[in-house]
Chains A and B, each alone.
Chain A
Amino acid sequence: MPGTSNCWHCGESLPQGVDIHARVAGAMRAMCCQGCLAAAEWIEQLGLADYYAMRAAPGHKPDAAADEAAHDAWQNTDNARHVIRDLGDGRRESLLLVDGIRCTACVWLIERSLSALAGVASVQVNAAAQRARVTWLDSQIKLPRILQALARTGYRALPLDARGLDDLRRLESRDALKRLVVAGFGAMQAMMFASVIYVAGNTIEPSTRELLRWLGLLVATPVVFYSARTFFVGAWRSLAARRVGMDVPVALAIAAVYVASFIEAWRGSGEVYFDSISMFVFFLLAGRYLEMRARHRARDLTDSLARLTPPFADRQCEDGFRRVGMHELRVGDCVRVAEGGIVPADGVLLGEHCRVDEALLSGESAPVRKTRGDALVAGSVLEDGPVLLRVERVGADTALANIAALVGRAHAERPQLQIAGERAAGRFVARVLAVTALTAIGWGLFDPSRAFSAAVAVLVISCPCAFALAVPAAFTRALGALARRGVLVVRPDAIQALAESTHALFDKTGTLTEPTLSLADVQSMGASRDALRLAATLARQSRHPVARAIAATDVGFEESMVSDVSTHAGLGVSAQVSGRALRLGRGDFAMAGRPLPTALDDAVLLADDAGPIAAFRVRERLRADAAATVDALRAQQMTVLMASGDAAAKVAAVAERVKVDTWRARAMPADKLAWLAELRAGGARVLAIGDGINDAPVLAGADVSIALAEGAELTQASSDIVLTGGRLDAIAGARDIARQTLAIVRQNHRWALVYNLSAVPLAAFGFIPPWLAAVGMSLSSLGVILNALRIGRGAQSNKTEASAATTPAAHEAVA
Chain B
Amino acid sequence: MNILLLLIPLSLAFLGFAVWIFFWAVDHDQFEDLDTPALLPLADSKREEPPE
* Contact surface of A with B, Cβ cutoff 8 Å: 47, 50, 53-54, 104-105, 107-108, 111-112, 115, 120-128, 170, 174, 177-178, 181-182, 185, 189, 204-205, 208, 211, 215, 218-219
Contacts and interface: CB of A to CB of B under 8 A. Distances in A.
A204 B1 CA distance: 9
Nearest to A189: B15
A96 to B, nearest CB: 15
Count chain A CB atoms within 10 A of each CB in B1, B29, B38, B43 and give the residue with the most. B43
A66 B17 CA distance: 54
A178 B8 CA distance: 24
Of all A-B residue pairs in the complex, the 7 with the closest CB atoms, nearest first, are: A104-B39, A115-B51, A50-B43, A126-B33, A127-B36, A47-B47, A107-B36
A7 to B, nearest CB: 22
Interface of B: 1, 4, 8, 11-12, 15, 18-19, 22-23, 26-27, 29, 31-33, 35-36, 38-40, 42-43, 46-48, 50-52
A108 B40 contact: yes
Nearest to B35: A128
A182 B16 CA distance: 10
> For the complex, would chain A's binding face be called helix, strand, loop or mixed by DSSP majority?
helix
A211 B26 CA distance: 33
A178 B51 contact: no
Contacts of A108: 39-40, 43
B23 A205 contact: no
Given A115-B51, A122-B51, A128 B33 contact: yes
24 contacts: A47-B48, A54-B39, A107-B36, A108-B39, A108-B43, A111-B51, A112-B48, A115-B50, A115-B51, A121-B52, A123-B51, A124-B32, A124-B33, A126-B36, A128-B33, A128-B36, A174-B27, A174-B31, A178-B22, A178-B23, A181-B19, A185-B18, A205-B1, A208-B4
B19 A185 contact: yes
A152 B3 CA distance: 66
B33 A127 contact: yes
Contacts, number: 70
Contacts of B32: 124, 126, 170
A105 B19 contact: no
A113 B5 CA distance: 56
A48 to B, nearest CB: 9
Given A127-B36, A177-B31, A182 B26 contact: no
Given A177-B26, A208-B1, 16 more contacts: A47-B46, A47-B47, A47-B48, A54-B43, A104-B40, A105-B39, A108-B40, A115-B50, A128-B35, A174-B26, A178-B22, A178-B23, A178-B26, A182-B19, A185-B18, A185-B19
A272 to B, nearest CB: 16
A107 B15 contact: no
A211 B1 CA distance: 12
A122 B52 contact: yes
Contacts of B50: 115
A174 B51 CA distance: 24
Given A50-B43, A174-B27, A185-B19, A125 B8 contact: no
Contacts of A50: 43
Contacts of A120: 51
Contacts of B48: 47, 112
Contacts of B38: 104
A124 B29 contact: yes
B19 A53 contact: no
Contacts of B52: 121-122
A169 to B, nearest CB: 11
A53 B45 CA distance: 13
Contacts of B26: 174, 177-178
Nearest to B52: A122
A437 to B, nearest CB: 37
Given A53-B43, A108-B40, A112-B48, A181 B22 contact: yes
Nearest to B38: A104
Contacts of A185: 15, 18-19
Contacts of A182: 19
Contacts of B15: 185, 189, 219
B49 to A, nearest CB: 10
A222 to B, nearest CB: 9
B30 to A, nearest CB: 10
A107 B51 contact: no
A127 B35 contact: yes
Count chain A CB atoms within 10 A of each CB in B12, B33, B46 and give the residue with the most. B33
Nearest to B51: A115
B18 to A, nearest CB: 7
B45 to A, nearest CB: 8
B4 A107 contact: no
A123 B32 CA distance: 14
